[in-house]
Chain A
Amino acid sequence: MMSEISVKKRNQFYLIKNFFIKNQLLIIILIFIIVIGIYKPVFLSTYNLMNILRTSALLGIVSIGMTFIMISGGIDLSIGSVMGLVSVIIAGLTTNNKVPIYYCIIVALLIGIFSGLINGVLITRGRITPFIATLATMVILRGVDLIYSNSRTIPIIGLERFFILGRGTIFSVPIPLFIFIIISIIAIIFLKYHTFGNYIYAIGGNYEASKYSGIRVDRYILISYIIGGCLASLSGIIYTARLASGQPMLGENFEMMSIAAVCVGGTSLLGGIGSIYGTLMGAILISALYNSMSIIGLSTFLQEVAVGIVLVIAVIFSIKRKRS
């Protein structure tokens, strides 16, 4: 029988274990970086590390949205397609239709919100499992993207102020990273202290219990998908600014990488547990992984294979974690 004292002790042990797990990732990242750095010193150059952080910012912004969705027990496979669509629409509107860039950005954000809305409605009203629903939207959005852009890159010319979004720095921190950090902080606060955050943990932990406690479960699930779509489109906007062009295949595989980052960071595929901090670490690790592979000289295809393997392993751990 559990007495009060032993539960407290277990709690402490749990906290310490948690601490180790969270920082475990940090330790792994550090070890990884050092090992690769020894093999190829250029990996450790400031330029390269900055690169890693910049990439992880783009991945990270999307992954934050994914974190919310996965904590609530869902999944969103369409975020990559949102990025691609947003990219070509911005480029197309501004280059072909001379629409002022500010409006383009607003349209892009609306696209993200709208796609999240569609996903959310399909899942909560249409009662379609998230996997299938977001798989379908993924296909549809990518299709629209390719139709609109004719599968061709759309260059953006001369919008230096826009490009800064993806290439510039603030206080010597790359802007994408800056935005990522700010969003992370907001996300952490909301997840911990706001009703929304608390409720999505509850919903992911036990949908029925939450429903019967009077929580409007469908509404919160819908919101999480809208946020996911919105953040995906934000990442797409920044990425487009960085590349100075609309890329129809932008975001390809981002959903896998993002799921990997989130799972590696400790969020469970089954919902109910997870943290933004973990996702942050996960995004950095995955980006570092990708980066290291190109430094070593592996082809992009092998990189994908490696990420695939990491994804599977990350998910295995995340499921085993929830089970224990």
Chain B
Amino acid sequence: MYKIKNFILLENPIILFLIGIYLIFGLLNKNMFSLDGLTNILIQSSVIGIMAVGMTFVIVSGGLDLSVGSLMAITSVLVSLLIKYLNISFVYVVPIGLFLGVISGIIIGIFVVYVKLPPFIITLGMLITLSGSARLISKAHPISGLPENFQNIFWHNSIFFIPTPIFIWIVISIIGIIIQKFTTFGRYCYLIGNNQKAAEISGININRVIILTYMISGTLASLAGIMLTARLNSGQALVGRGMEIIVIAAVVLGGTKLFKGIGNVLGTVFGTAVIGLIYVSLSFAGLSTNWQEVGLGAILIVAIIIDNFRSRYI
């Protein structure tokens, strides 16, 4: 009992936040309590959640990845081009798309580690490059007319009675938690994030770990891009626009601190759920996506401020 209380209050207060918001919004709209409503929330969260897992590793180890949104875009464009014009079955195209994320991550990692620039500048540059390239290649037009089963596999299917996107999110989150808790890589992320110099002196291969975090983040961003492409049934350079902030918000809300080596994937899962909740309830209320952005920005600020004051009094 004591352990559970500790778990909630000290480590993941976001859980309380989540439950609180759920109740409040649920009272405003009873639909949210239904199975359908709940499923809706989770589906909305899934794409963000997948990226947020990768972002957690990056942020815990002291970095930041602003390129995820634009990586989604370029993956979307590339993948749909391959399917539509080269007639490659999406079974092969998916790995290619993921590979794109890996490459992007490696490039970012190399710049961070060897050129030694702040990650936000590098990933910012990557963001501009990738989004520009995406728009260039697609000539700003959606690439539509993708085969139906592409969409069906991802969005109209269930695995073990759970809708596919949610299932993928859950699987990736679990893998993320396992890696974080049980592998040396996961452990090293914390050590590097908390004190990079000490990690270096302890003999840890910092460069390898950091590059790996960006590779993971990139791969998952590409995966998210592919999933969204399937959902929209078209490749668009607009996919993922502005997503990086939402993903970072999910991670920060989940209790991960920036640049400190504190945080965990489980918290991120809850943070993602909060965001999914907000999205759904705002759209239920008939508000456009722009309200969601506003709401998100505001919640991010509130969360950080609360967090700043919390760490002062602990």
> Which residues of A are interface residues toward B (Cβ below 8 A)?
122, 126-129, 131-133, 135-140, 142-144, 146-147, 151, 253, 256, 269, 299-305, 307-309, 311-312, 315-316, 319
Contacts and interface: CB of A to CB of B under 8 A. Distances in A.
Contacts of A301: 132-136, 140
B20 interface: no
A305 B245 contact: no
Given A129-B258, A133-B301, A309-B125, A139 B132 contact: no
Nearest to B131: A304
B305 interface: yes
9 contacts: A122-B301, A126-B304, A139-B242, A139-B245, A143-B297, A144-B290, A301-B135, A301-B136, A305-B129
Nearest to A146: B290
Nearest to A323: B116
B297 A316 contact: no
Given A138-B297, A147-B290, 18 more contacts: A126-B308, A128-B301, A128-B305, A129-B258, A132-B258, A132-B300, A135-B245, A136-B300, A137-B297, A139-B297, A143-B291, A144-B294, A303-B132, A305-B133, A305-B136, A308-B129, A312-B121, A316-B115
B308 A143 contact: no
Nearest to A129: B258
B33 interface: no
Given A139-B296, A147-B291, A128 B304 contact: yes
Contacts of A269: 118, 121
Interface of B: 115, 117-118, 120-122, 124-125, 127-129, 131-136, 140, 242, 245, 258, 288, 290-294, 296-298, 300-301, 304-305, 308
B138 to A, nearest CB: 9
A49 B281 CA distance: 51
A142 to B, nearest CB: 7
A311 B301 contact: no
A319 B117 CA distance: 8
Contacts of A302: 132, 136
The 3 closest A-B pairs by CB, nearest first: A308-B128, A143-B294, A140-B297
Contact of B128 (A136, A138, A146, A304): A304
B129 A309 contact: yes
A128 B297 contact: no
Contacts of A122: 301, 305
B132 A305 contact: yes
B112 to A, nearest CB: 12
Nearest to A299: B136
B293 A312 contact: no
Contacts of A128: 301, 304-305, 308
Contacts of A127: 308
A26 B148 CA distance: 57
Contacts of B298: 136, 140
A256 B125 CA distance: 9
A51 to B, nearest CB: 22
A256 B132 CA distance: 13
A311 B122 CA distance: 10
Contact of A142 (B129, B132, B293): B293
Contacts of B305: 122, 126, 128
Contacts of A133: 301
Given A147-B290, A305-B132, A316-B115, A136 B301 contact: yes
B279 to A, nearest CB: 13
A144 B177 CA distance: 37
A308 B125 contact: yes
Nearest to B287: A147
Given A126-B305, A132-B304, A147 B288 contact: yes
A143 B293 contact: yes
Contact of A312 (B125, B140, B294, B296): B125
